[in-house]
Amino acid sequence: MKSLLNDFLLFYARRGPGRSMRSSAFRKFCRRNRGKAFVADTGYGFRFRTVLGDAVDNQIYVNGVFEPETSRLFSAIAGECASFIDIGCNIGYFSCLFGRRNPDARIFCIDANPKMVERTRENMGLNGRDAEFLNFGVSNRKGSLKLFIPKGRHSLSSFAYRPEKGGEIEEIAVEIKRLGELISFEELDSACLKVDTEGFEFNVFSGIEPKEAERLKYVIFECNESNIQKAGQSAEAIFSISWVKNFHAYEIQENSGGLIPIRSEMGNYPTNANILLINSKIGESKASELSCLPGRLF
């Protein structure tokens, strides 16, 4: 009986009519199966081991995709880039997606949480894909910091603050370095950088030298003003970093699709969105091209 109910909830969460009813089935299925491991077949053609409980795992297993519009952009630009740097790789979803779309790309999977590095290694291996796995925090200096890890929501782990969600907090000391001390930018060509560090994004970006940033073709990062402020910074501070000014900035519309230009001179910084930075050497027309690509898989 339990198995039948699980099957029904999963079916309804994926294909049932009515958004609110699908959301209800989604929540019930994930609660009933918290802590259980499942292998998902994603919409982008790679397999992925999830452990239900965290929002990232839940979305990937039930829907076969995480952050659909951002995933679409990664899929579109992967073939243009010779390397991918995934800071805050978590369980490796975007690294696997990038590796699937560009089998020849050099991939760096970086996370401050050693358990996430191992889960990313497992998921990359599940798809027969190698990468360079680095268990470090990335900042603007060398040293050590405490990482706050909610045991029930690993994707909320942060150097910047103690998360209020996810239950009991585990604290671990993590070695931090500048990105340029972890990888050699001189060996990179047309790189894509992804940063999701729960409020620590300014520290990551301010540690990148302008000459190093010239090797970056695209940057995608989470800009959550509330989390950034907990680290003592602001979205404006991120967009004021010298090398960031050499990129065209766009807010990724996760719900409706498309890209909205961010004009720093107007101060229209997003409060909670994923951001796409395009190296100005490519030109602003690239954003229009990406916006006009075929829609999401889901």
Query: Do 77 and 276 form a contact (C-beta atoms < 8 A)?
Result: no
User: Which strand ranges, in their side-by-side order, compose the sheet holding 216-224?
Assistant: 132-134, 106-110, 83-87, 191-195, 216-224, 272-279, 247-252, 259-261
Please report the pLDDT score of residue 290 as a whole number: 81
Mean pLDDT of the chain: 93
- With a pLDDT cut of 70, the percent of the chain lying above it is 96
- With a pLDDT cut of 90, the percent of the chain lying above it is 88
Please report the pLDDT score of residue 297 as a whole number: 38
CA dist 261 and 271 (Å) reads 14
Q: Where are the domains of the chain?
A: 1-32, 68-291
What is the mean predicted confidence (pLDDT) over 290-294?
A: 63
- The string of pLDDT tens digits covering residues 14-32 is 999 999 999 999 999 999 9
Query: Do 121 and 107 form a contact (C-beta atoms < 8 A)?
Result: no
H/E stretch holding 13 reads helix 2-15
Query: Do 148 and 169 form a contact (C-beta atoms < 8 A)?
Result: yes
Please report the pLDDT score of residue 266 as a whole number: 65
Please report the pLDDT score of residue 295 as a whole number: 46
Q: What is the pTM of this model?
A: 0.94
Q: Was domain 68-291 assigned CATH 3.90.600.10? A: no
Among left, alpha and beta (phi > 0; psi -120 to 50; other), residue 133 is beta
The least confident of 173-177, 181-185, 261-265, 285-289 is 285-289
Main-chain dihedrals φ then ψ at residue 65, nearest 5 degrees: -160, 150
CA dist 43 and 48 (Å) reads 11
Please report the pLDDT score of residue 159 as a whole number: 96
- The string of pLDDT tens digits covering residues 56-110 is 999 999 999 999 999 999 999 999 999 999 999 999 999 999 999 999 999 999 9
Asked if pLDDT for residue 222 goes beyond 50, the answer is yes
The least confident of 35-49, 186-200, 247-261 is 247-261
Residue among 285, 218, 273 nearest 77 (CA) = 218
pLDDT confidence bin for 263, thresholds 50/70/90 = confident
